[in-house]
Amino acid sequence: MPAVQQITNTLDVLLTRLHESHEVPVYEAIERLVQAAESVGINADELIRMLGRGIPLEGILELIGERMGSSQTEEGSGPNGERAA
């Protein structure tokens, strides 16, 4: 095998591995985003539609945060709306 072809193959392998190593954190971040959204009642299809409509990721994260805050407030309330002791 000529040296140039061997270098090209090695470079391709390294670039492929580098690309794959960067994708793992992206997949993990997406998985965490979907889990957080589902915990507040937003399923993956709704997330995709929101992104497709042009809602920025920051806006989606704010919505999830607001819903999480609301659900925690509701959980801490008593039957008449007062805070639990």
Q: Is residue 7 part of a domain?
A: no
A 10 A CB-CB count for 34 gives 15
Q: What is the DSSP letter of 41?
A: T
Q: Over the stretch 20-42, which tens digit does the pLDDT of each residue have?
A: 767 777 778 888 999 999 999 99
Report if residue 11 sits inside a domain: no
The closest alpha carbon to 81, from 73, 62, 56, 17, belongs to: 73
In a domain, 46, yes or no: yes
Q: Does residue 50 belong to any structural domain of this protein? A: yes
What percent of the chain has pLDDT above 70? 66
Residue 84 falls inside a structural domain: no
Residue 85, in any domain of the structure: no
pTM: 0.59
Alpha carbon separation from 76 to 46, 63, 84 (Å, rounded): 28, 20, 6
Indicate the number of domains in the chain. Answer: 1
Give the structural domain span for 43: 24-72
Examine residue 16 and state whether it is found in any structural domain, yes or no: no
